[in-house]
Amino acid sequence: MTVLESGSRRPVPDKREVRELLMEYHESGDPALRDRIVEIHLGLAEYLARRFDRRGEPLDDLVQVASLALIHAVDRFDPTRGLEFTTFAVPTIVGELKRYFRDKGWALRVPRRLQELHLRLATTVAELTHELGRSPSIPEIADRAQASTDEVIEAMEAGRAYRSSSLDAPISGDDPTAQSWKLGQPDDNFTGIDERSELASLLRDLPERERTILLLRFYEGMTQSEIAERIGISQMHVSRLLSRTLEQLRRRAAEEDRAI
């Protein structure tokens, strides 16, 4: 049985019932008991997921992550140690949510206003580039985005902390055409690179889109805005992919002690 905490919509599990269920599940391993314990605590999982809402990831996904973490917590909890289940479950679920953000979304240390500005800049830069027929200056971007130049620069840097959930999926609020990116045929070869070099070998292991963007920028001399237009994604996304690809190459070169 669960009761509602006064002044809150979050159901509070009956501690005695939970203790008995956990003890019984610990002894029998009966999946029906586990389901019951999970069901009782789903409100807790959702409550914790909501604490991470509006950080760039859909709430439904967060609730799912929290619910899976809850199941793992039930499995790993040892009731014979005398701890309350929630004392164990809360840090487990919160830890899993934080890990999810590290792996899939924004690093938590990026303030929300910078996350939002970063995503807004994708559109702002594209509009201004189109209107002016050239790459806009930072004050022009700041003026259009109704932000200070310092905030624009911080938001550019914040992009480093963004991890899209899939390299091939469009990023929420940015790049609606990301999945329809179009590669130029002649550019995905290794123009100007010795095919037998260490660098060529590392480049071969990159996803095709990342390799193409890198070659277009550093070997074909295209600007980020030209690449963005050609590939059909925002310039902010090109910037993120370039920096991420370079980081990846340096890491791999370091692991293999290669000079690239």
Partner 1 sequence: MGDEIRLALPASPEHVPLARLTVASLAGALGFSFDAVEDLRIAVDELCYLLGADGRPGSIHFEFDVDKNSLVIIGEGAPGGPVREFAELSEQILAATVSEYTVERVDDHMTCRVVRRREEALA
Residue type, 52: F
Under rule CB under 8 A, residue 205 binds partner 1: no
Under rule CB under 8 A, residue 260 binds partner 1: yes
- Those residues whose C-beta lies under 8 Å from the C-beta of residue 2, and which sit 6 or more positions away, are 11, 12, 13, 14, 40, 43
Nearer to partner 1, 59 or 254 (CB): 254
Q: Which of 17, 61, 154, 187 binds partner 1 (CB under 8 A)?
A: 154
Closest by CA to 143, choosing from 118, 124, 122, is 124
Nearer to partner 1, 157 or 205 (CB): 157
Nearer to partner 1, 67 or 123 (CB): 123
Under rule CB under 8 A, residue 156 binds partner 1: yes
Count how many Cα atoms sit within 13 Å of the Cα of residue 9 in the half-sphere of its side chain: 3
d(CA 162, CA 154): 13
In the beta sheet, which residues pair with residue 12? 3
Under rule CB under 8 A, residue 148 binds partner 1: no
Under rule CB under 8 A, residue 157 binds partner 1: yes
Q: Which of 71, 107, 183, 253 binds partner 1 (CB under 8 A)?
A: 253
Task: State the angle between helix axes of 224-231 and 208-218 in degrees (0 to 180), rounded to the nearest 10.
Answer: 140
d(CA 87, CA 106): 27
- The contact set with partner 1 (CB under 8 A) reads 125, 129, 134-139, 141, 149-150, 152-154, 156-157, 160, 193, 197, 199, 217-219, 221, 223-225, 235, 239, 242-243, 246, 249-250, 253-254, 256-260
